[in-house]
A = this chain, B = another copy of it.
Amino acid sequence: MAADELARFASMARLRAFEEACLEGVPTFEIHGELHTGIGQEAIAAGMIAALRDRDALVSTHRNHMHALAKGVNARALMAEIFERETGLCRGRGGHMHPFDPERNFSATGIVGASLPVALGYAYAFKLRGEPHLAIGVTGDGGANHGTFHECLNMAAAWKLPLVVLVENNQYAISVRFADVTATATIAERASAYGAWGKCVDGTDVEAVETAFGEAMEHARAGKGPAILEATCYRFRGHYEGDHDSYRPRAEKKESRASLDPIARYRGMLIARGKATADELDAISSQAKFEMTAILAAVRADRQPDPSGALDHIFAEVSP
């Protein structure tokens, strides 16, 4: 399965290169609001790709770019949206926290706790229509303490809806430490309160995520109700670009970046396994960087939306 292994590595490389390209838009004010990247958390999105199908629905959060790419959203259109261009996925109206791709059943929200309900709606629609698709709702560890976590898992379980709740547990909600505001050691163990499937996995190990996510999806597909997959990880940058991030100890950040980098880890694993050489993997990384740099250049040539369209799209029809 060397091909799969290289594909996984390439996915992670692409995700990181995409985020790094986005970073370029901050100092230039091309992205004039805030920006949240998922750098350091690539193994989770990459680990989802294998099990995701085209019509599955994925509803993400403020930290959504990598999930969008995993779901197959066009990178050029996504980056253009993040860079506030008319060519963006949403014509520059939505911006980086609110990308919508109806063709891929992908969406996101900037409001914590607001993603799972929408995913639940997709799950319900799939069940109602007898479709085999699944709905995946993403939340952070912080979002898992919001009431919607409870409400949605309870409903999904009571009605056996095909919902997978993916918890990206990076140990922090901005500055607030998971352990300081959470009753249990993991989110996954709450599964028992809903008769749901639950597992906590090392979210910096792309293969472990892929396996566990596959299991979660199978559980939901089998009509057994919701699954909670918690993937632990560490956020490598500030909560948003510009965050002082002084709430995380310097040593913790340093150590985590060294030991929890999913790309470096997988690189080491593949070399140790003799699946690829360092040069081969570096070439993949370069290729990803090249692709995203090209997209960035193209996006930068695009226009911002024409101000005359500022009032378009509020209502679907002209009000009578």
Contact = CB atoms under 8 A, between A and B. Distances in A.
Nearest to A226: B183
A2 interface: no
Contacts of A196: 183
A184 B180 contact: no
A192 interface: yes
Interface residues of A, number: 25
A134 to B, nearest CB: 18
Nearest to A182: B158
A195 interface: yes
Please tell me how many copies of the chain the complex holds: 2
Interface string A162-183: 0000000000000000001111
Given A184-B194, A184-B195, A154 B145 contact: yes
Contacts of A154: 145, 181-183
A274 interface: no
A153 B190 CA distance: 12
A284 to B, nearest CB: 42
A183 B151 CA distance: 10
A190 B181 CA distance: 18
A146 interface: yes
Nearest to A192: B192
Nearest to A155: B181
Contacts of A150: 145, 147, 149-151
A195 B189 CA distance: 10
Contacts of A155: 181
Classify the interface of chain A: helix, strand, loop or mixed.
helix
A157 interface: yes
A151 B158 contact: no
B145 A147 contact: no
A155 B157 CA distance: 24
Contacts of A194: 183-184
A28 to B, nearest CB: 40
Among A154, A157, A158, A181, find the residue whose CB has the most chain B CB atoms closer than 10 A.
Answer: A154
Interface string A186-198: 0001101111100
A272 B158 CA distance: 42
A148 interface: yes
A-B residue pairs, 5 tightest by C-beta: A147-B147, A150-B150, A157-B183, A193-B193, A190-B193
17 contacts: A145-B151, A145-B154, A147-B148, A147-B149, A147-B151, A149-B150, A150-B150, A153-B183, A154-B183, A155-B181, A157-B183, A158-B183, A183-B195, A183-B225, A184-B194, A189-B192, A190-B193
